[in-house]
Copies of this chain bind each other. A is one copy, B any other.
Amino acid sequence: MIHTTLQATDGAARALHIDTPRGAVETPVFMPVGTQGTVKAMAPEDLEAVGAQIILANTYHLHLRPGEDVVRRLGGLHRFMHWERPILTDSGGFQVFSLARLSRVDEDGVRFRSHLDGAALTLSPESSIAIQEALGADIMMCLDHLLALPAAAGDIAAAVARTTRWAARCKAARQGEGALFGIVQGGLDEILRRRSAEGLLETGFDGMAIGGLSVGEEKAAMHDTVAFTAPLLPEGQPRYLMGAGEPEDLLQAVGAGVDMFDCVLPTRNARNGTLYTRAGRVNIKQARHRDDPAPLDADCPCPACRHYARAYLHHLFRAGEILSMRLNTYHNLHFYLALLREARAAVRAGRFAAFAREFLARFANDRH
């Protein structure tokens, strides 16, 4: 279980201290995504070096391969992947929705076919919790009913109601000590979001997530939805915005009172050559970096910036070298984690709004 302390507030923004059996998590916090039991291109030592406090692992992927029974027999996911700090597992529902061939959602759960071998599988609130417990998650997520946006209001309302019922089943299914977070659904509709939050709070969880965003809606609509949903959630619990996003999105959400984030963008973009610097995004593929002796970001202390020229990072990317993915990923994760550490310091100093404004003014300069 976890114990959450609200350390500071600054407007709606907050700084939490979350105690877990595997150490503390201080928020706002970014969680690198370890899809298949590893954060792509990183070793656990790298994650510690960039200051990762907690990582996310994907229940769907690990259920398919190697299977939670293998992981459990090998001592749990922490031992399997040599990561001793906290792990949050998702429910598996999002990958069923986005990767698998979905065959049916009904009250029992979700039937789907594996994207790896086409095997017919099911995921229910109960089996999702059983898998997450077998993996040894420190924080588990309830299985929710996802919809692509836009969707009809009636469909969204039905998904909210089902998500509420499934969440209660998830809580009832829990047997171990892992914390469990509920997930607020409801699309972009404030009334449905409120209904979802209230239904979940009747059951009661250790933390609350905002789900169903970053699925195709406009940025402004996402920001509005975060802004009106975050205040619906308990002040004394962590609030987690699932799957978002760009640095601008994170700062907006921190300002709205969100504490936890995960997103594949820093790692996926790294592998595609899009790198984050204080002065904006850099596409290292571009020919103008071919001869450039300057570091990627002169203010960044990460190895990619301390030891190499942009010309070398460009060369590694063009040559398809593995070191390209590693240096780029290290840099982008360092950027995201440092951004949220600084956001936390700003909240504690009562100057978050100024911090966010100054960061965004410099970062908006996208021509590097």
Which residues from chain A sit less than 8 Å from chain B, CB to CB? 36-38, 40-45, 65-66, 70, 73-75, 80-82, 290-291, 293, 303, 307-309, 311-312, 314-316, 318-319, 321-323, 325-327
Looking at the assembled complex, report how far the CB atom of A95 sits from the nearest CB atom of chain B, in whole angstroms: 14
Are the CB atoms of A311 and B43 closer together than 8 Å? no
List of 9 A-B pairs having minimum Cβ-Cβ separation, nearest first: A82-B307, A41-B322, A36-B319, A66-B315, A38-B323, A38-B321, A80-B312, A74-B311, A74-B293
Q: In the complex, A315 Cα to B70 Cα: how many Å?
A: 10
In contact, B323 and A43 (Cβ under 8 angstroms): yes
In the assembled complex, the Cα of A321 lies from the Cα of B322 at a distance in Å of: 11
Known contacts A74-B293, A316-B38; is-contact A43 B326 (Cβ 8 Å): yes
Q: A43-B326, A291-B73 are in contact. Are A66 and B311 (CB under 8 A)?
A: yes
A303 to B46, CA, bound (A): 13
Is the pair A322, B312 in contact by a Cβ cutoff of 8 Å? Answer: no
Measured CB to CB, the closest approach of chain B to A289, in angstroms, equals 11
The distance in angstroms between the C-alpha atoms of A120 and B300, with both chains bound, is 41
CB distance from A319 to the nearest CB of B (A): 4
Contacts of A311 in B (CB 8 A): 66, 70, 74, 80
Q: Could you pull out 19 A-B pairs where Cβ atoms are within 8 angstroms?
A: A36-B316, A37-B312, A37-B316, A40-B321, A40-B323, A41-B322, A41-B323, A43-B303, A66-B290, A66-B311, A70-B290, A73-B293, A74-B291, A74-B311, A74-B312, A80-B312, A81-B312, A82-B308, A326-B326
Given A65-B319, A81-B312, 17 further pairs, Cβ under 8 A = A36-B315, A36-B316, A37-B312, A37-B315, A38-B316, A38-B319, A38-B321, A40-B322, A43-B323, A44-B307, A45-B303, A65-B318, A66-B311, A80-B315, A82-B308, A82-B312, A322-B322
- Knowing A322-B322, A326-B326 are in contact, say whether A309-B74 is a contact too (CB < 8 A): yes
| Neighbour of A80 across the interface among B44, B309, B323, CB < 8 A | B309
In the bound complex, how far is the Cα of B110 from the Cα of A319, in angstroms?
Answer: 24
Distance in angstroms from A35 CB to nearest chain B CB is 9
Considering the chains assembled together, what is the distance between the CA atoms of A86 and B5 in angstroms? 54
- Measured CA separation A325–B325 after assembly (Å): 12
Taking CB atoms, residues of chain B closer than 8 Å to A45 are 303
**Chain B residues within an 8 Å CB radius of A321:** 36, 38, 40
A322 touches B326 (CB 8 A): yes
User: For residue A44, which residue of chain B has the nearest CB?
Assistant: B307
Q: How far is the CA of A293 from the CA of B319 in the complex (A)?
A: 36
Closest to A315 in B: B66
Bound-complex Cα distance A319 to B64 (A) = 11
